[in-house]
Amino acid sequence: MESLAARFDSPRRLYKRASDRPQDWLGTTPLLDLDDPKLRLKARSLVQLCRTDRDKALAIYGFVKRLPYTKRIKLHYPTARDVLEARGGDGDDKATLLIALMRSAGIPARLRYMEMRGEMLRGLIPRATPAARPLAEFWLGHWVRTDTYIFDADYVAAARERLQENGWTCGWGIHINAQLLWDGKNDAFLGGAPTDQDPMLTRLLCVVSDPLELVSASLRGNGLRYRRSMRALQWNMLAPTMIRAIRELRANSRFY
C-alpha cells in the first residue's frame, strides 16, 4: 500500500508546502484573537511558573485537553475567546484555543489538517463520513505533533472501554491503541501510529493557523474540496446525533 507520505509528495498533492520557519506561526488571525485581554491573562496564568518552552507547552496542552469534548450546532466559527468562555468544544474549537494560547505564550504553533476515514467516527455518527482532523504542531526546537488534546481523559477512557466491549479497533474518534498523553518531546497520536503509517488517514489537506483557513477560498485553488458553507451544513446536520452519542458514552461508562 502506498504510504501517506508518498502521496503527500506526489506531483498531484493537494496543498502548497507551508513555511517551516517558526517565526511565521506566531501571528494573530480572526479566530486567534491574541490581543484579547482575557485570553492573554489565561495564557499568562498557565505559564507563569514555567521555566522552559516545553514546560509552557505542557501547561497549555494540559489545560486544553482537560476541557470536555463536546459538540454543538454552530452559526459561526468560534474565536479562541469564545472557546475559553464555553469551557469545552469539538476538535476544531479546542484546536483554536490551543494554538492561540501557545502563540500568546510565544510558542510557534500551527494546525496540520488530515482527512480521516469514516470508520474512526463509528459510534459518533450513523454513517462512514470522512472528516478533517486538526493535528497540532508546536516549535520546541523542532516541530512536534499531537492530536491527543482533542478528547478529555474521561472521554478517552469511556471510548476505549466501549471499543473493547464491541471488539472494534477504532471508533468514537480514537484507535484502541491510542496514545493518551503528549509528553512535550515526542509526537503522540489518537490513531496509535505516526501519521504516515496510519491507515485511517487518507490525505493531508493543508497546514494552517486556524480552522477557518481550512475552508478559505484561497485553498480551493489547490484542489481542496472543503467549502465553508457545505462543511458547516454537513456537521450541523450531524451535531444532534453526535451530542446524543457523546452524552450516552459518558453516561454509560464506569469512569463517571
pLDDT tens figures, 217-251: 655 555 555 666 667 778 888 899 999 999 999 99
Q: What is the pLDDT of residue 13?
A: 43
Q: What is the pLDDT of residue 6?
A: 45
d(CA 185, CA 201): 23
pLDDT tens figures, 16-68: 578 999 999 999 999 999 999 999 999 999 999 999 999 999 999 999 999 99
Q: Is 89 left (phi over 0), alpha (psi -120 to 50) or beta?
A: left
d(CA 225, CA 221): 9
Which is nearest to 95 in space by CA: 58, 54, 136, 125? 136
- Do 6 and 203 meet the contact criterion of CB atoms below 8 Å apart? no
Mean pLDDT, range 138-156, rounded to an integer: 97
**165 pLDDT tier (thresholds 50, 70, 90):** very high
Q: What is the pLDDT of residue 214?
A: 87
Q: Is the pLDDT of residue 199 over 70?
A: yes
Place of cell 491527543: 148
Q: What is the pLDDT of residue 216?
A: 76
- What is the residue-averaged pLDDT of the chain? 88
Mapped onto helix, strand or coil, the DSSP state of residue 251 is helix
d(CA 80, CA 205): 22
pLDDT tens figures, 67-77: 999 999 998 89
Place of cell 523542532: 142
- Do 98 and 80 meet the contact criterion of CB atoms below 8 Å apart? no
